Amino acid sequence: MATKWQAWTSFTLSLWLAVSPWLAGYAEHESATANAVIVGLVLALASHFECVACDDAPAEWLNLAAGVWLLCAPFMLEFDSPVASVNSIAVGAFVAFLAASALSLDKKLRHRAH
């Protein structure tokens, strides 16, 4: 599988996201903390599944959706912490890019498109 590195990178980013409220100092902001922990754990599970499963496409679509959500979350949930907002947007952009990159390399998906 050519996309293993994207899955492991997404896994690492998801772990960062899940613990970032405490390490980056915005744990007192409830909506930002809840979002980071929940999305971080979902992404970690999806990325782990992607690393061990034969069919990566469902996990990549979940990662792409989660990345887009992380880009929108600071505005939709009205984070009142600039650090939480920047963290969510940065992690979301990386995760979405990695998922889109992995999907673009998926031979089965390209074959279905043609």
Domain that holds residue 33: 4-113
63-90: pLDDT as tens digits: 999 999 999 999 999 999 999 999 999 9
Residues 6+ apart with CB under 8 A from 22: none
Q: Which residue has the tokens 């061990």?
A: 52
69: buried, middle or exposed (CB in 10 Å: 19+, 13-18, 0-12)?
Answer: middle
Between CA 52 and CA 81 the distance in angstroms is 36
Phi-psi region of 60 (alpha: psi -120 to 50; beta: other; left: phi over 0): alpha
5-47: pLDDT as tens digits: 888 899 999 999 999 999 999 999 999 999 999 999 999 988 8
The count of structural domains within the chain is 1
Record the pTM: 0.87
Residue 91 pLDDT greater than 90, yes or no: yes
